[in-house]
């Protein structure tokens, strides 16, 4: 057993550690422990619980109400890694300012990002959003339709990002992507970006916005972007969604074309 004297000597170190990393401990509690307990108590996934809350509290057909209700649930009830309201404003501005006609979202999750993008699209624009988890895709489909968007504006595709990117031309008739929003597995950011390049779906001026490049981070992706010479690049620094004490950011890339 550890003597009281030794334990007391380590106490300042433990307290300092807890204070320094308190937001990470809080994130672990909200994102992991609370989720585990609620999974057992409800027999529903976290995404299904979020949809039940939105269905009960949001106004159908009103995208703003859907997003506000999601934000309240994620900040006050259970944590979920949507882009959130602060970083979402950057996404909103880029969509409005650039008025893309064809948009690809990688990582639909529960539909928050898709609704956020779709509400800012101009008439005639189309969003393809990709989710590999079938159960999450079912939730996202309900959220998207609850917000009032139909297949003419927003098409949800179930599959991996790699599978879908390779089929964009042949199966979906897409010749060019004006805007790509990456918010899926961070380890897929780089291979998917290179796949987009190789497929010819990126044209000069195409914009790629990648979330969470600082936390949990996508270092290989950022290193490639900086060295490739194919992109004009900037980072939008912010904090992790619904967790203000953890630094995060998004990478905004503008494709310059093949050298």
Domain boundaries, the chain: 1-42, 84-255
Active site residue 47: no
pLDDT score for 144: 97
pLDDT band at 22, cuts 50/70/90? Answer: confident
pLDDT band at 25, cuts 50/70/90? Answer: confident
Active site residue 211: yes
Please state which CATH number belongs to domain 84-255.
3.40.50.150
pLDDT score for 214: 95
Q: Choose, from 47, 71, 131, 241, the residue flagged as catalytic.
A: 241
pLDDT, average across residues 64-86: 95
Q: Choose, from 186, 192, 248, 252, the residue flagged as catalytic.
A: 186
Active site residue 186: yes
- Residue 131, CA atoms < 13 Å, CB-side half-sphere: 19
Active site residue 241: yes
Q: Choose, from 71, 138, 183, 192, the residue flagged as catalytic.
A: 183
Instruction: Flag whether pLDDT at 157 surpasses 90.
Output: yes
| Other Cβ atoms within 10 Å of 30 Cβ, number | 18
Question: Minimal CA–CA distance to 69: which of 82, 57, 51?
Answer: 57
């Amino acid at each position: 057993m550890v003597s009281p004297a030794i334990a007391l000597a380590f106490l300042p170190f433990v307290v300092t550690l807890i204070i320094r990393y308190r937001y990470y401990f809080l994130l672990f509690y909200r994102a992991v422990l609370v989720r585990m307990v609620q999974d057992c108590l409800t027999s529903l996934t976290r995404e299904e619980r979020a949809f039940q809350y939105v269905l009960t509290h949001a106004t159908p057909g009103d995208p703003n109400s859907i997003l506000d209700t999601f934000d309240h649930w994620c900040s006050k009830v259970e944590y979920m890694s949507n882009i959130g309201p602060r970083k979402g404003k950057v996404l909103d501005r880029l969509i409005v300012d650039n008025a893309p006609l064809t948009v690809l979202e990688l990582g639909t999750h529960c539909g928050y990002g898709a609704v956020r993008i779709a509400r800012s699209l101009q008439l005639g624009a189309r969003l393809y959003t990709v989710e590999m988890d079938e159960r999450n895709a079912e939730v996202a489909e309900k959220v998207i339709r609850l917000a009032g968007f139909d297949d003419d504006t927003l098409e949800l595709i179930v599959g991996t990002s790699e599978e879908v990117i390779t089929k964009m031309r042949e199966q979906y008739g897409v010749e060019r992507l004006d805007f790509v929003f990456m918010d899926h597995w961070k380890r897929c950011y780089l291979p998917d970006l290179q796949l987009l390049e190789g497929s010819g779906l990126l044209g000069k001026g195409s914009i790629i916005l990648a979330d969470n490049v600082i936390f949990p981070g996508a270092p290989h992706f950022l290193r490639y972007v900086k060295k490739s010479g194919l992109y004009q690049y900037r980072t939008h620094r912010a904090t992790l969604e619904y967790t203000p004490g953890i630094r995060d950011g998004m990478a905004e890339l503008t494709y310059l074309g093949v050298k």
